[in-house]
């Protein structure tokens, strides 16, 4: 077995397992946890387009989640436009906002960019909390928007609402696979190379004729568009959105945490991070919070600190090494130890 085919087999196995999981795992609770895991992996992968490849630290990506959630919900509630169309409209709107905000801020370095994105999401949240109606669009201020559920047991593809968890599971799984593939293609494109060059050595990249600023803005717009799609998905999952649930710093921070724990700028990083962090947050909240309030967040904090102290590049690096060693061993035994 060559390393190439080993990798391909592994990937195929992984995808097959993910596809088959709902057949084995019948409990809606576990499916729900998996759906949220994929959703966070998805959002972190799109975050990674800016936070990983462009070398800055966005701490305001929830603003795009919010734009996606609010756009599709308003269109559905007021005009009955299918959330699937609303999803695309929300994506475009988020991309446009990302262009406006990205053009001036992406020139900033480190801390400034992080703070600017934070302030932006806080500002948007405050505005949404203060207006019941924005032009013809009813936002309902801090009370948020409810999507009336279909009668129990009914589902509709057009309304993006399903009676069971399985459709949600497959939708988010395909979204995740799509966005990972896209990132992989992108990392091998000219834009990808320019981005990582610009992220590491902006001056050198400029000297080589790469328009670093323009590349970063492109990445930001793309990232915002894709993140907003997740917003619509989230709204359809919970059927209830309000400013403090989708336009929060908590969500923005969590995406950054997942990416950094997993490994910024690596393809597998967001997935590894989500696999690590989501179950820890879910299960520690479930089993600890009644007896030891706040313990789950202490645990999260400790994990963040420990991983950053010992693996500042995230967990994907040591895991990749582990994977390579495994691959070497398997491939070498199969080919009789020839190197």
Partner 1 sequence: MTKKSLATAALTLLALVGMSMSAMAETVVKIGNVEPLSGPSASVGQQGKNAREMAVEEINAAGGIKSLGGAKLELIYADSKSDPNVGVTETERLINTDKVNIVTGCWNSGVTYPATAVAERYGVPFVVPVSVRDTITERGFKYVFRIAAKDSWWTRDQFTFLKDMKDEFGTELKTVAFVYENGDWGTGFAAQWKTLAEEAGYEIVLDEPYPSAATDLTPVVTKIRRAKPDVLLLTSNAADAVLITNTLADYKVSPKVILGSGGGHADPTFISGTSDNSKFMFDIVEWETDVNKPGAKETNDKYKAKYGSNLTGEAVDAYVAMYVIADALERAGSLEPAKIRDALATTDLKTGPAAIVAYDSIKFDATGQNENAALAIVQINDLGQGLERITVWPKTSRRADYTPVFPMPQK
Partner 2 sequence: MDLIFLLQDVINGILMGSIYGLVALGLTLVFGVLKIINFAHGSFLMVGMYVAYWIVAYTGLHPYLALFLVAPIMYFFGYQMQQWLIRPIFVAERDVREPITVIIVTTGVWYVLDNLALLLFGPDYRALSPNPLKGEMIEIGEILISTPKLFGFIITVLTAAGLYWFLLKTRMGRAIRATSLDRDAASLMGISQWKIFNVAFGIGTAIAGIAAVVLVPVYNVYPTVGVPFDVKSFVIVVLGGLGSIPGALLGGVIIGLIESIGPNFMTSTWTEAIVYGLFLLVLFFKPSGLFGQKYDW
User: Which residues of this chain interact with partner 1, rule CB under 8 A?
Assistant: 27-30, 32-33, 36, 126, 129-130, 141-144, 146, 149, 152, 234, 238-240, 242, 244-245, 282, 285-286, 289-290, 293-294, 296-297
CB-based contacts of 232, cutoff 8 Å, min separation 6? 68, 69, 71, 72, 73, 83, 86, 87, 90, 160
CB-based contacts of 252, cutoff 8 Å, min separation 6? 58, 59, 60, 61, 62, 63, 117, 118, 121
* Burial classification of residue 83, based on how many CB atoms lie within 10 Å of its CB (0-12 exposed, 13-18 middle, 19 or more buried): buried
Contact between 130 and partner 2 by CB under 8 A: the answer reads yes
Contact between 57 and partner 2 by CB under 8 A: the answer reads yes
Contact between 255 and partner 2 by CB under 8 A: the answer reads no
The binder of 245, among partner 1, partner 2, none, by C-beta within 5 to 8 A per type, is: partner 1
Choices 11-19, 114-122, 187-195, 270-278 (CB under 8 A): range interacting with partner 2: 114-122
Choices 11-19, 74-82, 166-174, 250-258 (CB under 8 A): range interacting with partner 2: 250-258
CB-based contacts of 263, cutoff 8 Å, min separation 6? 269, 272, 273, 313, 314, 315, 316, 317
The binder of 171, among partner 1, partner 2, none, by C-beta within 5 to 8 A per type, is: none
Choices 42-50, 61-69, 174-182, 308-316 (CB under 8 A): range interacting with partner 2: 308-316
Contact between 179 and partner 2 by CB under 8 A: the answer reads no
CB 187 within 8 A of CB 53: yes
Beta bridge partners of 241: 145
Contact between 304 and partner 2 by CB under 8 A: the answer reads yes
Beta strands in the chain (DSSP E): 133-134, 137-138, 145-146, 240-241
Q: Among 114, 171, 176, 274, which residue interacts with partner 2 (rule: CB under 8 A)?
A: 114
Q: Provide the CA 142 distance to its chain's centre, in angstroms.
A: 25
Contact between 134 and partner 2 by CB under 8 A: the answer reads no
Contact between 203 and partner 2 by CB under 8 A: the answer reads no
């Amino acid at each position: 077995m060559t390393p190439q085919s080993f990798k391909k087999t592994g990937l195929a196995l992984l995808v097959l397992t993910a596809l088959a999981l709902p057949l084995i795992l019948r409990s809606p609770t576990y499916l729900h946890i998996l759906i949220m895991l994929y959703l966070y992996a998805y959002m972190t992968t799109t975050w990674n387009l800016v936070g990983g490849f462009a070398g800055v630290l966005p701490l305001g990506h929830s603003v795009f989640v919010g734009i996606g959630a609010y756009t599709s919900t308003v269109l559905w509630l007021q005009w009955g436009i299918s959330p699937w169309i609303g999803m695309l409209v929300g994506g475009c709107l988020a991309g446009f906002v990302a262009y406006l905000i990205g053009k001036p801020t992406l020139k900033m370095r480190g801390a400034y960019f992080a703070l600017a994105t934070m302030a932006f999401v806080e500002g948007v949240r405050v505005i949404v909390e203060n207006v019941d109606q924005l032009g013809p669009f009813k936002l309902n201020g801090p009370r948020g928007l409810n999507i009336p559920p279909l009668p129990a047991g009914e589902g509709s593809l057009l309304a993006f609402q399903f009676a069971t968890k399985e459709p949600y599971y497959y939708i988010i799984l395909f979204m995740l696979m799509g966005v990972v593939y896209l990132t992989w293609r992108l990392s091998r494109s000219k834009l990808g190379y320019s981005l990582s060059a610009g992220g590491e050595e902006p001056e050198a990249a400029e000297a080589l004729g790469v328009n670093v600023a323009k590349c970063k803005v492109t990445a930001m717009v793309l990232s915002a568009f894709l993140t907003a799609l997740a917003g619509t998905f989230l709204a359809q999952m919970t059927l209830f959105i309000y400013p403090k649930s989708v336009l929060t710093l908590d969500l923005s921070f969590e995406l950054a945490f997942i990416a950094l724990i997993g490994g910024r700028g690596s393809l597998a990083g967001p997935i590894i991070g989500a696999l690590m962090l989501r179950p820890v947050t879910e299960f520690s909240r479930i089993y600890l919070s009644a007896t030891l309030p706040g313990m789950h967040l202490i645990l999260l904090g400790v994990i963040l600190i420990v991983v950053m102290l010992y693996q500042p590049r995230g967990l994907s690096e040591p895991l990749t090494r582990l994977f390579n060693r495994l691959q070497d061993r398997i491939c070498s035994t199969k080919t009789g130890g020839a190197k």
